[in-house]
Amino acid sequence: MSNNTILVTGADGFIGSHLVEKLLHEGKNVRAFCLYNSFGSLGWIDSLSESVRSELNIVLGDIRDPVCIREAMRGCDQVFHLAALIAIPYSYIAPQSYVETNICGTLNVVQAARDLGLSRVIHTSTSETYGTAQFVPITENHPQVGQSPYAASKIGADQIALSYWRSFETPVTVLRPFNTYGPRQSARAVIPTIITQITAGQRQIRLGALSPTRDFNFVTDTCAAFQAIADCDEALGEVVNAASNFEISIGETAELIGKVMNVDLELITDEQRLRPQGSEVNRLFGDNSRLRQLTHWKPLYGGRDGFRAGLAKTAEWFSDPDNLAFYSPGTYAV
């Protein structure tokens, strides 16, 4: 990547904050686009060291405002577009918010990129756009099925981004990460849900469905995928999976976390955590061969041993009382 300014939208979020930190560590000029709020909170950017934050150009705004995001992108060379509403349960309650943030927000980004002449837009997709696997491992040619309003909004956002490549040659790549986990992740996600309940002393762990399988990526592997694809001209106009090529059920994941944290667990089904039957994605198992062929990227935390190592790092972070204080273990927040 060039040494020109890189904008990261959603920099205040889980993956965004890790990506910002990694880019700064490598000497990049980074502008962090964070959601405006009256508290002046920068989300997870606030948790970074002062030496890291001092290197950042921080912009507060809203991805839904085309003027706001255009001004944030002015003078930038590349944009990593991560800003989105991602909680699946809340998309059942507020679907229009997902359309406005995820679809319209993406439209604002690619239109500004076209007008301002940016050299690269890396748009963030999700494995949820595939729905329950119709074949495995899931390649980029797998049909897209919106099994939740969230997934449908991300399918729309992906297509908006790709349409700008096809229509105007706006230099867009769609990176489609499978389930990312690691320090700073919201407890709405299953791995932090399990770990935070354990660290709070609970041994009866409340979860939703245990049988669905997922392909988990440690957050540093996901960030490395973003950086690798940003350098790859062959990826322009393409959708590229970032997957670990390892499949494990939610129930087995909980058992493995118990072993990593050296505790015996009893798994309890919490009805309010279950998705509607037709909305549950029962199997996700990704094919990462396109990303590896294009960039020589490979997951450092792949396979069962790598997953266990990533879980250990994640549990260690959550076990720090200062970090756990950000969470309310056992509380289900939609």
Residue 61's CATH number: 3.40.50.720
- Whether the pLDDT of residue 1 is over 80: the answer is no
Buried b (16+ CB within 10 A) or exposed e, 21-56: bbbbeeebbbbbbbbeeeeeebbbbebbeeebbebb
Residue 21 lies in a domain: yes
Cα–Cα distance for residue pair 263/1, rounded to 1 Å: 44
As a whole number, mean pLDDT of residues 36-46 equals 96
Write the burial class of residue 289 (CB in 10 Å: 0-12 exposed, 13-18 middle, 19+ buried): middle
Query: Which pLDDT value is given to residue 333?
Result: 77
Query: Which pLDDT value is given to residue 217?
Result: 98
C-alpha distances (whole Å) from 137 to each of 130, 232, 240 are: 12, 23, 14
pLDDT 10s digits, 17-26: 999 999 999 9
Residue 13 lies in a domain: yes
As a whole number, mean pLDDT of residues 63-88 equals 98
Residue 210 lies in a domain: no
Cα–Cα distance for residue pair 13/161, rounded to 1 Å: 21
Residue 277 lies in a domain: no
As a whole number, mean pLDDT of residues 269-290 equals 95
Query: How many domains are there within the chain?
Result: 1
Residue 142 lies in a domain: yes
List all residues 6 or more positions away from 47 whose beta carbon is below 8 Å from its beta carbon.
Answer: 17, 184, 326
Query: Which pLDDT value is given to residue 332?
Result: 81
pLDDT interval class at 331 (50, 70, 90) = confident
Query: Which pLDDT value is given to residue 334?
Result: 81
pLDDT interval class at 3 (50, 70, 90) = low
Higher local confidence (pLDDT), 272 or 33: 33
Residue 264 lies in a domain: no
Q: Please say whether the beta carbons of 72 and 61 come within 8 A.
A: yes
Residue 27 lies in a domain: yes
Residue 307's closest CA among 235, 185, 219? 219
pLDDT 10s digits, 214-232: 999 999 999 999 999 999 9
Query: Which pLDDT value is given to residue 2?
Result: 46
pLDDT 10s digits, 195-214: 999 999 999 999 999 999 99
Report the 10 Å Cβ neighbour count for 254: 21
Residue 138 lies in a domain: yes
Domain that holds residue 50: 6-182+216-242
Q: Please say whether the beta carbons of 84 and 10 come within 8 A.
A: yes
pLDDT interval class at 245 (50, 70, 90) = very high
